[in-house]
């Protein structure tokens, strides 16, 4: 079976192309720092709150909610776990919950779009729209899944495949500010 990429690496790659290299090629994940652990616990609590929230923010009256929904596709060569899937009678919507940020990053948009691309194969209903929920700001950001977006997801996925295949440590455009918040800082020789 051909290699399948974890979808969250689309976002990680756009943050820094070295992260997929560390995780997929070297199978290396540094021990979690305390702030990462706290962030994950907070994220989990936010998801619990989200369970009881109304669907109005998605423009829906009724929908089944599936949390931590697994998706995998041989066709797209991608797999992952969706924070929440909203299922109505005729269609489905992928939802990704983010804690911080004023607006979703390009990486978060492509991540949730990729989840949406895989959902029809798993659930058997079309997915034309996804959402990024920015919890701290109480905002819901719709993401259209159209041909242009799908192309973009494929382009980034293929860049990652190419980097992994090239067997050369990727150059990184990451700024000092990005490196300072990166868990791989101690493992990148060319960064302070």
Which residues sit at the interface with ligand SF4, rule CB under 6 A?
Answer: 16, 18-19, 172, 174, 178-179, 182, 184-185, 188, 191
Query: What's the min distance (Å) between Cβ of 13 and ligand SF4?
Result: 10
Nearer to ligand SF4, 16 or 94 (CB): 16
Nearer to ligand SF4, 31 or 124 (CB): 31
Spatial distance between the Cα atoms of 123 and 24, rounded to a whole number of angstroms: 28
Query: What's the min distance (Å) between Cβ of 142 and ligand SF4?
Result: 29
Query: What's the min distance (Å) between Cβ of 146 and ligand SF4?
Result: 31
Long-range contacts of 170-174 (CB under 8 A, 24+ apart): 170/17, 170/18, 170/21, 171/17, 172/16, 172/17, 172/18, 173/16, 174/15, 174/16, 174/18
Nearer to ligand SF4, 81 or 179 (CB): 179
The answer to whether the beta carbons of residues 40 and 123 sit under 8 Å apart is no
Nearer to ligand SF4, 23 or 122 (CB): 23
Query: What's the min distance (Å) between Cβ of 137 and ligand SF4?
Result: 25
Chain position carrying tokens 């995998």: 72
Quick one: which of 120, 121, 112, 123 has its CA closest to 149?
112
């Amino acid at each position: 079976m051909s290699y399948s990429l974890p979808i969250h690496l689309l976002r990680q790659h756009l943050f820094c192309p070295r992260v997929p290299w560390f995780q997929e090629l070297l199978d290396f994940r540094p021990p979690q720092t305390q702030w990462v652990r706290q962030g994950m616990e907070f994220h989990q609590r936010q998801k619990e709150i989200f369970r009881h929230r109304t669907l109005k923010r998605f423009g829906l009256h009724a929908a089944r909610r599936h949390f931590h929904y697994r998706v995998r596709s041989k066709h797209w060569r991608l797999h992952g776990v969706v924070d929440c899937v909203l299922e109505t009678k005729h269609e489905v919507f992928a939802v990704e919950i983010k804690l911080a940020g004023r607006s979703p990053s390009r990486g978060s948009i492509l991540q949730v779009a990729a989840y949406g691309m895989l959902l029809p194969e798993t659930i058997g209903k079309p997915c034309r729209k996804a959402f990024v929920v920015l919890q701290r700001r109480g905002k819901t950001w719709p993401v259209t899944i159209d041909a242009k977006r799908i192309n973009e997801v494929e382009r980034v996925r293929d860049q990652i495949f190419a980097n992994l295949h090239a067997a050369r440590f990727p150059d990184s455009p990451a700024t000092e500010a990005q490196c300072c918040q990166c868990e791989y800082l101690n493992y990148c020789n060319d960064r302070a």
